[in-house]
Amino acid sequence: MADSGKPTLAMYWASSCGGCEISVLNIHDKILVVDEVFDIVFFPCIADFKTKDVKGYPDGYIDVCLFNGAIRNSENEEMAHLLRQKSKVLVAYGSCSYEGCIPALSNLTTKQATLDTVFLENPSIDNPDKILPQTSYKVPEGELDIPVFYHTVKSLDQVVDVDYYLPGCPPEPPQIWAVLEVIVSALLEGAPLPPKGSIVGARDVAVCEECPLEKHEKSITRFYRPHEITPDPGLCLLEQGIVCMGIATRAGCGALCPQVGIGCRGCYGPLGDVEDQGAKMLSAIASVIGVGDPSMEEDELEREIQAVVDTLPDPAGTFYRFSMAHSLLRRANVNGGNGKGEAK
């Protein structure tokens, strides 16, 4: 609580794109209500706050902290610990902090490969001395430190205790506002908060519930990438072979993407009883591959189904697009092979 008596609000971005910050602004005129109700005590995106400010706050000083972005490096992790210490309610805001989101896709490769791509093997890079970032570097004025780049991207709850998760990439304005409203009533009027660890700002049902496209029994004989066909408007995209994660993704966004002919990407994360969104999506989509029947010879059966599987180029990247950090395996095994540690 601030000295003014108003509840305090913080918003911090770890490894993120900035879209979550913009999403908060996207609640339009309601941002004025936010400004009226809350005292903003740490929001590096919009104002000049420093880490030492946060360190100077008493523990629990921040009533609500909206933490977005994944844990990519040691600074992200330090800030996560710090903000946890200084906040009453820590919300994993947006898909990155909830489940890893796009940054976590780098878990499919190695730290080495990532740095090589960015700093060495890139057409727009001119780095003849092959300089790679070092965590510490001596200059005449002293020693400079930069955070350690982690091998594996983590979600927020893999480093600190999280109170609520607000999924989405980014979360949709009506959902953001709904969550803020709940928090505001709790803080100002003592209304009950949802149980700790809840997913807020999203529904307990899959996107299909909100999607107006017509759905029939599914039987997919080949998959298409979005640019390969023009889907029939009004008809379920998955049935037409376009991978739509809507079946395995929480609703709450209003099914915005399928309505304009783009398959849902899965950014609101998995449903309640699902531990691994990618595996569940895989199960569902593979189950409805419409080729192969029991009267075929075993070889033929395998070939026919494999032919359909071959039309789906990147299952890991597609099914784990947002949930890699929260998946069961979390990252790719780079030691795989013959036990000799040769990276894949």
Partner 1 sequence: MNEQFEPVIVGFLCNWCSYRAADLAGTARIKYAPNMRTIRVMCSGRVDPQFVIKALREGADGVMIAGCHPGECHYVEGNIKTLRRFLLLKKMLKQLGVEDERIQLVWASASEGTILADAVDRMTEQVRELGPLNWQNTVLGGGNGQGQPAPIENSPVAEEV
Partner 2 sequence: MNKEKVGVYVCHCGTNIAGVVDVEDVATWAGEQDNVEIARDYKFMCSSLGQDLIEDDIKEKGLTRVVVAACSPHMHEKTFRGACERAGLNPFLFEMANIREHNSWATNDKVAATQKAKALVNAAVERVVFQVPLEKLPIEINPNTLIVGGGISGITAALELADAGNHVYLVEREPSIGGHMAQLDKTFPTLDCSACILTPKMVDAGQHPNITLLSYSEIEEVDGYLGNFTITVRKKARCVIEEDCTGCGICEEKCPIKVVDDVFEAGLGYRKVIYRPFPQAVPKYPVIDKENCTYFLRGKCKACQIFCPTEAIDFEQEDEILKFQVGNIILTTGFDLFDARRIPQYGYGRLANVFTSLEFERMVNAAGPTGGNIFMRDGVTEPQSVAIIHCVGSRDKNYNEYCSKVCCMYSLKFAHLVHERLPGADVYNFYIDMRTPGKGYEEFYHRLLEEGTHFIRGRAAEVTDAARLPGEEGKLIVQAEDTLIGKQRRIPVDMVLLSAGIEARGDSKEISQLFRMGCDFDGFFTERHPKLDPVATMTEGIYIAGACQGPKDIPDSVAQAAAAAARVAGLITQGTVMMEPVRASINEEACSGCRICNTMCPYNAIVFHEDRNVSEVITALCQGCGTCVAACPSGIITGAHFTNDQIVSEIEGILWDVRSEPELVPGD
**Which of 136, 295, 333, 338 is in the footprint of partner 2 by CB under 8 A?**
295
21 Cβ partners below 8 Å, 6+ apart?
A: 11, 13, 45, 46, 68
Question: How many chain residues touch partner 1 (CB under 8 A)?
Answer: 60
Q: Which of the choices partner 1, partner 2, none does residue 197 contact, using the CB cut-off of 5 to 8 A by kind?
A: partner 2
Q: Which of 76, 268, 276, 323 binds partner 1 (CB under 8 A)?
A: 276
Q: Which residue has the tokens 């597609």?
A: 318
d(CA 298, CA 294): 9
Alpha-carbon span 62 to 7, nearest angstrom: 8
Among 262, 287, 342, 317, which Cα is nearest to 108's? 317
- Directed axis angle between helix 173-189 and helix 30-37, to 10°? 30
* Residue 106 near partner 2 by CB under 8 A: no
Among 88, 111, 222, 225, the residue binding partner 1 under the rule CB under 8 A is: 111
The residue assigned the tokens 């949802």 is 194
Q: How far apart are CA 109 and CA 336, in angstroms?
A: 12
Q: In the chain, how many H helices and how many E strands?
A: 11, 10
Q: Is 197 exposed, middle or buried (0-12, 13-18, 19+ CB in 10 A)?
A: exposed
Nearer of residues 72 and 250 to partner 1, judged by Cβ: 72
Minimum CB distance to partner 1 smaller for 112 or for 259? 112
Task: Answer yes or no whether residue 273 interacts with partner 2 by CB under 8 A.
Answer: yes
Q: Per rule CB under 8 A, is residue 173 in the interface with partner 1? A: no
In the complex with partner 1, which residue's Cβ is closer, 214 or 300? 300
| Residues 77-96 within binding reach of partner 1 (CB under 8 A) | 77
- Report the C-alpha gap between 33 and 40 in whole angstroms: 12
Taking CB under 8 A as the rule, which mask of x and - marks residues 129-158 in contact with partner 2? ----------------------------xx
Per-residue b or e along 21-45, where b marks 16 or more CB atoms closer than 10 Å to that residue's CB: bebbebbeebeeebeebbbbbbbbb
**197 alpha carbon, distance to own chain's centre:** 17
Choose among partner 1, partner 2, none what residue 184 binds, the Cβ cut-off being 5 to 8 Å by kind.
Answer: none
Minimum Å distance from CB 303 to partner 2? 19
Compute how many residues bind partner 2; rule: CB under 8 A. 35
Q: Enumerate residues 211-250 that contact partner 2 by CB under 8 A.
A: 215-219, 246-248
Binds partner 2 (CB under 8 A): choice among 64, 271, 308, 324: 271
Which positions touch partner 1 (CB under 8 A)? 74, 77, 107-108, 111-112, 115, 148, 150-154, 274-276, 278-280, 282-283, 285-287, 289, 292-296, 298, 301-302, 305-306, 309, 312, 314-317, 319, 327-344
